[in-house]
């Protein structure tokens, strides 16, 4: 079958961090309707308001992309692009419920000749074996004959203004070569033809899963190295800076691994490994180390505070006040999904500390709803914290001066030094006085 992209209508299903910018970008070249089950999100987008702050109001208002929460409005689409969440459940198993529901909905409006492209991150086989079967069952049409599947993993990195939908290489794959070629053309319009055509759909699915698992494992290595260097009394950032001077040292840094991708996708890869009888040793040990990092960070803070107070967290001691700077899962965005800062907070609270959290980007209502926490959106003025921990490298924090950081501190007892714990090493070049303890991972 030959396709004429110019005459084809596109529906983007799921208007979140991935789907909405994609729909707006594609609308520059043709007819696009964005569909989402979240009525508030759709109403906001119609008003030109993106609560994820990925797209500015003027740009959204100027876009020809239509937004709807009515399935009927996407009935006439020729190409469906699915960008719904693919999370994990409480046992860290892939939770395909949402992508299955979206497939059921699309199956209900599918016509002969339609193309369904999945962008959601999945493990190899989900597009064809799971979603394809649902589409067949609901529509009564045959996959690969009456309708055709495609897969194109999403690589955008929210908050990153350098690597955008319009310049990063896009991987595409199709059930037939004609579909793959159509996807080359479709996505190539947006990024100057910067497309990699994968051999087949499973290859493209697997490529996404290993990209993120590779990152996770490399960070896990840095986290493990950090734990042993800390035991030796060394700062991992000092050691990394020295090692980085070698030409082929990979520039990963230790830290909390949260969010919906790096901390989630390796479990998708692990699941497909287990399904075929392969024990994914490295993948799962990387996950275990990274998932334990919040508790490790809290223990380090506890140790520094108690060293000053000459007690341990099992002993009775003065309560200390801790201010955590940053709650989102990464810097300069408002996304709090799967943030591991919450592990630090919960562990510290479990030890009996008073913990305040500040974040200039996170949405107060969302943090309260999802985590039951009241965050501060402006920095407290009074000097009363025994410890300030820098958790997320927001610009607001990286621009702080020694005096603005010190203005947050004030130990209760004169002989006890307040602690600055900087897990990102952001302030390591600042010159703090001896009256405070400054530590990094
Ligand atoms: N956010 C990222 O940076 C990123 C990067 C690469 C890949 N991904 C992957 O892309 C996919 C989407 O992620 P996201 O961050 O955009 O998610 P998101 O939570 O920001 O957005 C998903 C949207 O889908 C909507 N939705 C849920 N069920 C639906 C349904 N049945 N029909 C229509 N809409 C529905 C939700 O209301 C929401 O608005 C996931 O698989 C994710 O792993 C995300």
- Domains of the chain: which residue ranges? 5-198, 207-291, 293-441
pLDDT of res. 269: 97
CB-facing half-sphere around the CA of 347: CA atoms within 13 A: 19
Helix (H) or strand (E) holding 395: helix 395-398
Domain 293-441, classified CATH 3.40.50.720, yes or no: yes
Pairing of strands 437-440, 419-422: parallel
Which mutation among 11, 12, 16 tests ligand 1's pocket best, with the greatest number of atoms within 8 A of CB? Answer: 16
Give tens-digit pLDDT for 262-319. Answer: 999 999 999 999 999 999 999 999 999 999 999 999 999 999 988 655 555 555 456 7
Distance from C-alpha of 339 to C-alpha of 329, rounded to nearest angstrom: 4
Alpha carbon nearest to ligand 1 atom 26, residue: 14
121: CA distance to ligand 1 center in Å?
9
Pairing of strands 170-174, 148-151: antiparallel
Q: Which atom of ligand 1 is nearest to the CA of 337?
A: 19
* 114 backbone φψ class: left, alpha, beta (φ>0; ψ -120 to 50): beta
What superfamily in CATH does domain 5-198 come from?
NAD(P)-binding Rossmann-like Domain (3.40.50.720)
pLDDT of res. 53: 86
Distance from C-alpha of 87 to C-alpha of 104, rounded to nearest angstrom: 18
261 is annotated as an active-site residue:
yes
Q: If we measure between CA atoms, which residue out of 186, 436, 398 comes closest to residue 304?
A: 436
pLDDT of res. 267: 97
CATH assignment, 207-291 = 1.10.1040.10
Buried b or exposed e, range 59-94, using 16+ CB within 10 angstroms: ebeebebbbbbeeebbeebbbbbbbbbbbbeeebeb
Q: If we measure between CA atoms, which residue out of 58, 51, 47 comes closest to residue 15?
A: 51
Pull the structure tokens for residue 327. 């709650």
Q: Is the pLDDT of residue 148 over 50?
A: yes
20: CA distance to ligand 1 center in Å?
9
Which of the four pLDDT bands, split at 50, 70 and 90, describes residue 166? confident
39: CA distance to ligand 1 center in Å?
15
pLDDT of res. 316: 47
Average pLDDT, integer, range 87-95: 96
Q: Is the pLDDT of residue 158 over 90?
A: no
What residues are paired with 34 via a beta bridge? Answer: 12, 67
pLDDT of res. 413: 63
380: CA distance to ligand 1 center in Å?
35
Give tens-digit pLDDT for 105-142. Answer: 999 999 999 999 999 999 999 999 999 999 999 999 99
Q: If we measure between CA atoms, which residue out of 337, 348, 341 comes closest to residue 327?
A: 341
Q: Which residues' Cβ are closer than 6 Å to ligand 1? A: 13-19, 35-38, 41, 83-86, 98, 101-102, 105, 119-121, 154, 156, 158, 260-261
What residues are paired with 33 via a beta bridge? Answer: 11, 66
Pull the structure tokens for residue 120. 């959601």
Least confident piece of the model among 26-40, 83-97, 152-166, 407-421: 407-421
pLDDT of res. 278: 98
**Residues found in the chain:** 441
Average pLDDT, whole number, for the chain?
Answer: 94
DSSP assignment letter at 173? E
**293-441: same fold as 5-198?**
yes
Average pLDDT, integer, range 209-228: 97
């Amino acid at each position: 079958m030959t396709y004429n992209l110019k005459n084809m209508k596109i529906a983007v299903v799921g208007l979140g961090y991935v789907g909405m910018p994609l729909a707006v970008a594609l609308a520059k070249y043709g007819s696009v309707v964005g569909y989402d089950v979240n009525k508030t999100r759709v109403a906001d987008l119609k008003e030109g308001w993106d609560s994820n702050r990925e797209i500015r109001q003027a740009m959204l208002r100027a876009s020809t992309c239509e937004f709807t929460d009515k399935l009927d409005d996407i009935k006439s689409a020729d190409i469906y692009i699915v960008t719904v969440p693919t999370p994990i459940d409480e046992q860290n198993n892939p939770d395909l419920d949402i992508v299955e529901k979206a497939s059921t909905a699309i199956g209900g409006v599918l016509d002969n000749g339609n193309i369904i492209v999945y962008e959601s991150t999945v493990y190899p086989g989900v597009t064809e074996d799971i979603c394809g079967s649902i589409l067949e069952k609901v529509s009564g049409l045959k996959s690969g004959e009456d309708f055709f599947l495609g897969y194109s993993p999403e690589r955008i990195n929210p908050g990153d203004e350098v690597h955008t939908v319009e310049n990063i290489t896009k991987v595409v794959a199709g059930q037939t070569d004609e579909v793959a070629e159509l996807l080359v053309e479709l996505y190539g319009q947006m990024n100057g033809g910067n497309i990699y055509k994968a051999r087949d759909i499973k290859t493209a699915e697997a490529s996404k899963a290993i990209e993120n698992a590779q990152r996770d494992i490399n960070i896990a290595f840095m986290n493990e190295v950090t734990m042993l260097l800390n035991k030796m009394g060394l700062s991992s950032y000092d050691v990394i800076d020295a090692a980085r001077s070698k030409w082929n040292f990979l520039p990963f840094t230790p830290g909390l691994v949260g969010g919906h991708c790096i901390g989630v996708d390796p479990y998708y890869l692990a699941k497909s490994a287990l399904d075929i009888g392969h024990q994914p040793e490295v993948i799962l040990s990387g996950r275990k180390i990274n998932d334990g990092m919040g508790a490790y960070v809290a223990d380090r803070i506890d140790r520094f505070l108690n060293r000053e107070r000459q007690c341990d967290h099992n002993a009775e001691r003065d309560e200390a006040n801790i201010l955590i700077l940053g709650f989102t899962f990464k810097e300069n965005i408002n996304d709090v999904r799967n943030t591991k800062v919450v592990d630090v907070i919960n562990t510290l609270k479990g030890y009996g500390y008073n913990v305040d959290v500040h974040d200039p980007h996170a949405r107060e209502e969302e943090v309260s709803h999802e985590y039951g926490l009241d965050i501060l959106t402006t920095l407290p003025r009074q000097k009363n914290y025994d410890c300030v921990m820098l958790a997320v490298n927001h610009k607001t924090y990286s621009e702080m001066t020694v005096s603005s950081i010190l203005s947050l501190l004030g130990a209760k007892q004169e002989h006890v030094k307040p602690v600055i714990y900087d897990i990102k090493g952001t302030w390591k070049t600042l010159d703090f006085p001896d009256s405070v303890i400054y530590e990094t991972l």
